[in-house]
């Protein structure tokens, strides 16, 4: 079972991208050397929850506070294939739609090895 809550599902506007995976170095002779940064490409999820109740927001924020800066598991919420170890590089962006009742939240989660 994943640590990140799977209910509610993020909106269809959520995205799955790939982290920049190349390191390049230019040398005096004018040539450039490039190599992969990681053995495989790492995923980056941008999850958007446009309509959360206060209880749902509290669940997400408690999970974020529990794992802040450390790795936790996530079931892929977009394609629903696989479970990944991820971390949150920045706090979620929360906006009140109806104060103290409904909220929207956006968070970025990056895959870790």
How much is the pLDDT for 1? 57
Q: How many CB atoms lie within 10 A of CB 5?
A: 15
Q: Cis peptide leading into 59, omega within 30 of 0?
A: no
Q: What pLDDT does 100 receive?
A: 84
What residue ranges do the domains of the chain occupy?
15-111
Q: Are 111 and 86 in contact (CB under 8 A)?
A: yes
pLDDT of residue 67: 94
Q: How far apart are CA 35 and CA 16, in angstroms?
A: 23
Phi, psi of 90 (to 5 degrees): -145, 155
Q: Over the chain (113 residues), what is each successive 10-residue block's mean pLDDT?
A: 86 89 85 84 94 94 93 92 93 92 95 87
DSSP three-state, residue 61: helix
Do 56 and 63 touch, CB atoms closer than 8 A?
A: no
Q: What is the pTM of this model?
A: 0.83
Q: What is the pLDDT of residue 69?
A: 86
């Amino acid at each position: 079972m994943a640590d990140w809550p799977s209910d509610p599902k993020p909106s269809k506007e959520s995205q799955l991208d790939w982290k920049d995976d190349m390191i390049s170095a230019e040398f005096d002779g004018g040539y450039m050397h490039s190599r992969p940064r990681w053995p495989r490409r790492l995923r980056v999820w941008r999850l958007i929850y446009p309509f959360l109740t206060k209880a749902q927001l509290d669940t997400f924020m408690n999970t974020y506070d529990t794992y802040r800066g450390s790795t936790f598991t996530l079931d892929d919420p977009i394609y629903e294939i696989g479970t990944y170890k991820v971390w949150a590089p920045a706090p979620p962006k929360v906006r009140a739609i109806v104060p103290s009742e409904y909220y929207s939240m956006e968070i970025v989660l990056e895959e870790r090895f």
